[in-house]
Amino acid sequence: MREALAHGRVHELFVTGSAADRHPELVEAARDRGAHVLPVTEKAAAGLSETVTPQGLVAVCDLLDVPLATALGGPAGFVTVCAGISDPGNVGTVVRVADAAGCDAVLLAGDTVDPHNGKAVRASTGSVFHLPLARDRDTSVVLDACRAAGLTTLVADGRGELDLHDPGTAPILAGPVAWILGSEAHGPGPEVFAAADHRVRVPIHGRAESLNLATAAAICLYATVGARAGVPGRPPARRD
């Protein structure tokens, strides 16, 4: 809620009496930004909310996504692509990791869940408001847009030809890249594996079968941060 208010995206705020008493600063901030503050009962707030234990505050905000050209219109050098991720919690977590790693944008391709899904927004812990989000149902359109923006496309793949920790991979990571992450169950799909410039594996040193999506995303994106930090004159991440 604080992130939404800080970015001026709230149009209406539904609030229970108890929530208004607990968070008078949020109610005041909403009014200061021109939002309509509407009192509701606890029952109504529970109906509006998608959580098991609603907090008594429900906001109506602007849609967040922008066109692909807008998301990639600046000096984009570090982008995350969610390809076919159907779990909203995973999408929100990847957005959160991408924000933390300093990505310039997050692109949602194919049948990836809507970033406005309530669970995705909550899992992002406010990061959906921090960086551009763009989406297109045609994954090839997203990959073509990345290439047109000068980005090398890297797809996380347990059987990839590049080892993430091999010193020879670092120069690729240090350049302009778009990391493509797929669903835990099926990955981003065979067409994405075939179309990506490189398939990169995160080595498994123990007996675990695989990593979950959020962990793999964090490892891959922060490996890129580390590689970029080692290049003189290149900022390691986005700086607001």
159: confidence class by pLDDT, cuts 50, 70, 90: confident
106: confidence class by pLDDT, cuts 50, 70, 90: very high
How high is the pLDDT of residue 231?
64
Q: Compute the half-sphere exposure of residue 67: CA atoms within 13 Å on the CB side of its CA.
A: 4
- Chain mean position to CA 47: 27
201 and 110 share one domain: yes
Per the domain annotation, does 108 fall within a domain?
yes
Domain closes at, from 22, 43, 61: 61
User: Taking a C-beta distance cutoff of 8 angstroms, is the pair 87, 56 a contact?
Assistant: no
Domain closes at, from 61, 84, 104: 61
Which residues, at least 6 apart from 73, have a Cβ–Cβ distance to it below 8 Å? none
Which CATH number does the domain housing residue 118 bear? 3.40.1280.10
77 and 38 share one domain: no
CA distance 112 to 195: 18
How high is the pLDDT of residue 164?
94
Mean pLDDT of 28-38: 88
> Pick from 201, 192, 182, 153: which is nearest to 82 by CA?
182
103 and 188 share one domain: yes
User: Taking a C-beta distance cutoff of 8 angstroms, is the pair 178, 152 a contact?
Assistant: yes
Domain closes at, from 31, 61, 91: 61
CA distance 63 to 50: 18
Mean pLDDT of 83-92: 94
Which CATH number does the domain housing residue 27 bear? 3.30.1330.30
How high is the pLDDT of residue 8?
60
Per the domain annotation, does 236 fall within a domain?
no
240: confidence class by pLDDT, cuts 50, 70, 90: low
74 and 52 share one domain: no
Residue 69 has pLDDT above 90, yes or no: yes
239: confidence class by pLDDT, cuts 50, 70, 90: very low
Which residues, at least 6 apart from 140, have a Cβ–Cβ distance to it below 8 Å? 191, 195
> Pick from 110, 99, 109, 116: which is nearest to 65 by CA?
116
Mean pLDDT of 73-77: 80
- Residue 57 lies in domain: 2-61
Per the domain annotation, does 193 fall within a domain?
yes
13 and 52 share one domain: yes
148 and 221 share one domain: yes
52 and 137 share one domain: no
Residue 197 has pLDDT above 90, yes or no: yes
220 and 167 share one domain: yes
Least confident of 54-68, 80-94, 113-127, 171-185: 54-68
Residue 50 has pLDDT above 80, yes or no: no
How high is the pLDDT of residue 51?
73
